[in-house]
């Protein structure tokens, strides 16, 4: 158990819909990262938050957005879903200095039908 929790574990929805994925980082970790794993693109970084502020942006579509709340949990919002958004979405957290191992949650498997 990495200490990072993600909900839900599985999500099945239809094209055009909107979903929210939730992540709670390890206690004390201020950085939260979102990654997407799809069959054709592999594991790709989407977005990073640090202590409530956006710190880095990767290959995140405009239809996707995220935020980190004062209690440090984070949500990833995916809207106008397409078949190609079906993927495993991971959240990771880390401290900001020293041993900055990123610990990954169990992932949310999104299926868009």
CB of 25 to another protein, least distance (A): 13
Cα four-point dihedral sign 90, 21, 111, 60: negative
CB of 13 to another protein, least distance (A): 19
The values of phi and psi at residue 96, to 5°, are -100, -5
- CB-nearer residue toward another protein: 65 or 95: 95
Contacts of 105 (CB under 8 A, 6+ apart): 2, 4, 5, 6, 23, 90, 91, 92
- CB-nearer residue toward another protein: 33 or 64: 33
> Pairing between strand 53-57 and 42-50?
antiparallel
- CB-nearer residue toward another protein: 22 or 55: 55
Residues found near another protein in the complex (CB under 8 A): 2, 31, 33, 35, 42-45, 48, 50, 56, 58, 88, 90, 92, 94-104, 106-107, 109
CB of 102 to another protein, least distance (A): 6
């Amino acid at each position: 158990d990495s200490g990072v929790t993600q909900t839900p574990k599985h999500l099945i929805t239809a094209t055009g819909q909107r979903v929210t994925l939730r992540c709670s980082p390890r206690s004390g970790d201020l950085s939260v990262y979102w990654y997407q794993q799809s069959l054709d693109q592999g594991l790709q970084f989407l977005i990073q938050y640090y202590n409530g502020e956006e710190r880095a942006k990767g290959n995140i579509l405009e239809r996707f957005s995220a935020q980190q709340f004062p209690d440090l949990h984070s949500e990833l919002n995916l809207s106008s879903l397409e078949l190609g958004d079906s993927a495993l979405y991971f959240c990771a957290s880390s401290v900001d200095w020293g041993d900055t191992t990123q610990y990954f949650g169990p992932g949310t498997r999104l299926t868009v039908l």
